[in-house]
Amino acid sequence: KVLILDFGSQYTQLIARRVREANVYCEIFPCNVEFEKIKEYGAKGIILSGGPASVYDKDAPKVSDEVYELGVPVLGICYGHQLTGMYFGGVVAEADHREYGRAELYADKSDDFFADIEDDSFVVWMSHGDRLDKMPEGFKTIAKTDNAPVAAMRHETRPIYTIQFHPEVAHTKNGRQILENFVVKICGCEQVWTPRNFVEAEIERIKELVGDKRVLCGLSGGVDSSVAAVLIHRAIGDNLTCVFVDNGLLRKDEGKQVEDAFRNQFKMNLVAVNAEDRFLSVLKGVTDPEKKRKAIGNMFVRIFEEESSKLGEFEFLAQGTLYPDVIESVSFKGPSATIKTHHNVGGLPEDMKFKLLEPLRELFKDEVRRVGLELGIPENFIWRHPFPGPGLGVRVLGEVTKERCDVLREADAIFLEELHKADLYTKIWQAFTVLLPVNTVGVMGDNRTYENAVAVRAVESTDGMTADWAHIPYEVLGRISNRIINEVRGINRVAYDISSKPPATIEWE
């Protein structure tokens, strides 16, 4: 395994994902973690990430010098390159002009670091202000660009490599190969981090940890909780009980699909609670989005507690926490930042006395999907778009009623069906329909209508933090609009949302 020390770069997670894609396990620690922890971790290689600071800043983040003396290979990227250069006696200077974007890299391909690369030169992505002007003694250049005489260097006798460019970003050609070369050829890591190995090891770990105790799992039907539940079920069978709360704010047929898959297909202990009436009753007359969220969240907690108390004693509560949530809580946010504890407890109260079981907390989303496929979970669960906890509660704008949810469900089902047919569903990050709180005038046959309008929303994104509207072909949009207006009673207008986030958000409420 490999350890990545984070200096606050926006790309640190990408480094980890690239390393994992080479089937090598890695974790991220903040750069200022005590050396003892680094040593204890026992990595076969250490990667120092980039970061926003300058090595000359007053509070410039540093890493314990002992890291260079541990005897394991070290790779410094960008800030890590400059920091390492300084440590060994090189000179870092403010570059005349900052360098952002592409540069042509000329690499010494006789070094293992650039093994299995065919191009004589290739495009790499730069993003830095400072640069290493004078190489430290004992190092040699292994790559340069027109603007950076030392775009990559290595220690002459020790496995210490540093590079100015970013191999982790998609714009760097051969970047994946370079990181694979480092972790496999130079660090000597075995490429055994695969979904199958993860599943086997995790099942063993869960068996050992849980023993014959009971585990409670809140199932939402989303990919994370589904994969977590199936994995735990493989380990402990009927000692796992899943509670699925159908709040009446789900998509068309979603409740049935969840029940069918987990009860009939996976033969799991599933307690499904139909609580539509209770949710709708607390939403009556509520139009403010945050009040709706609160009402839905509180009701969920109440029902979850009621159900779990009927089911006897549980030692563990299972959650689908993912690695990005974990990193968020430990990532390096500057020298004085305090570490905040993370919470991913879909609104569950803190006084529930459970131990947490989080089998996915080491995984990125794409890895969760691969693990899910390995476990035989149906594709329609694996590729499901993110769906907010309050569901249609925040997609029926204004007051939420059963009738309005039903109208929205029909329109939304048509929208998704057409996206599937056009082979667009998996290319889109999230897509859904919003029922607007206005009526609009239309004409059907010879009659004037005055009915609902819906907006359809589809966005491209990688993490939901920023998003662009998806450029769905006009023909597909045309079909969607036609079908919704013709097939759904009560809708006479369809609009397509072409706002990006920011400044808009993905949801409308």
Residue 389 or residue 442: which is nearer to ligand XMP going by CB? 389
If binding is defined by CB under 6 A, does position 506 make contact with ligand XMP? Answer: yes
Of 78, 187, 217, 405, catalytic: 78
Phi/psi at 24 (5° precision) = -120, 130
If binding is defined by CB under 6 A, does position 501 make contact with ligand XMP? Answer: yes
Q: Please list every residue from 371 through 390 that binds ligand XMP, using CB under 6 A.
A: 386, 388-390
CA 115 – CA 180 distance, rounded (Å):
10
Q: Where are the alpha helices (DSSP H) in 98-194?
A: 175-180
**Cβ atoms 245, 254 nearer than 8 A:** no
The reply to whether 166 belongs to the active site is yes
- Output the smallest distance, CB 507 to ligand XMP, in A: 3
If binding is defined by CB under 6 A, does position 505 make contact with ligand XMP? Answer: yes
Q: Which of 128, 251, 293, 395 binds ligand XMP (CB under 6 A)?
A: 293
Sign, CA dihedral 341-347-351-356, equals negative
If binding is defined by CB under 6 A, does position 343 make contact with ligand XMP? Answer: no
Burial 361-375, CB ≥16 within 10 A → b, else e: bbbbbebbbbbbbbb
If binding is defined by CB under 6 A, does position 181 make contact with ligand XMP? Answer: no
Phi/psi at 380 (5° precision) = -70, -20
Q: Please list every residue from 389 through 418 that binds ligand XMP, using CB under 6 A.
A: 389-390
Residue 139 or residue 429: which is nearer to ligand XMP going by CB? 429
How big is the site for ligand XMP, counted in residues (CB under 6 A)? 11
Residue 309 or residue 505: which is nearer to ligand XMP going by CB? 505
Of 26, 81, 155, 168, catalytic: 168
Residue 502 CA: distances (Å) to CA of 328, 374, 468, 498: 21, 36, 9, 12
Q: In 8-54, at which residue ranges do the beta strands (DSSP E only) sit? A: 26-30, 45-48
Q: What angle do CA 48, 49, 53 make, to 5 degrees?
A: 110
> Residue 286 corresponds to which tokens in the numbers above?
């509520």
If binding is defined by CB under 6 A, does position 80 make contact with ligand XMP? Answer: no
Residue 80 or residue 218: which is nearer to ligand XMP going by CB? 218
**Cβ atoms 306, 349 nearer than 8 A:** no
**Cβ atoms 75, 163 nearer than 8 A:** yes
- Output the smallest distance, CB 463 to ligand XMP, in A: 9
Residue 17 or residue 293: which is nearer to ligand XMP going by CB? 293
The reply to whether 420 belongs to the active site is no
Please, which residues have CB within 8 angstroms of residue 65's CB and are 6 or more apart in sequence? Answer: 87
Q: Which stretch binds ligand XMP (CB under 6 A): 164-172, 270-278, 375-383, 499-507?
A: 499-507
Residue 2 or residue 394: which is nearer to ligand XMP going by CB? 394
Annotated binding site: 220-226
Residue 153 or residue 243: which is nearer to ligand XMP going by CB? 243
Annotated binding site for ATP: 220-226
Q: Please list every residue from 417 through 456 that binds ligand XMP, using CB under 6 A.
A: 430
If binding is defined by CB under 6 A, does position 464 make contact with ligand XMP? Answer: yes
Q: Please list every residue from 3 through 32 that binds ligand XMP, using CB under 6 A.
A: none
If binding is defined by CB under 6 A, does position 292 make contact with ligand XMP? Answer: no
If binding is defined by CB under 6 A, does position 466 make contact with ligand XMP? Answer: no
If binding is defined by CB under 6 A, does position 214 make contact with ligand XMP? Answer: no
The reply to whether 168 belongs to the active site is yes
CB-based burial label for 64 (10 Å; 0-12, 13-18, 19+): middle
If binding is defined by CB under 6 A, does position 507 make contact with ligand XMP? Answer: yes
Please, which residues have CB within 8 angstroms of residue 411's CB and are 6 or more apart in sequence? Answer: 433, 435, 454, 484, 488, 491, 494
**Cβ atoms 221, 250 nearer than 8 A:** yes
**Cβ atoms 209, 234 nearer than 8 A:** no
Of 81, 128, 155, 166, catalytic: 166
**Cβ atoms 290, 261 nearer than 8 A:** no
Binding stretches for ligand XMP (CB under 6 A): 293, 386, 388-390, 430, 464, 501, 505-507
Active site residues: 78, 166, 168
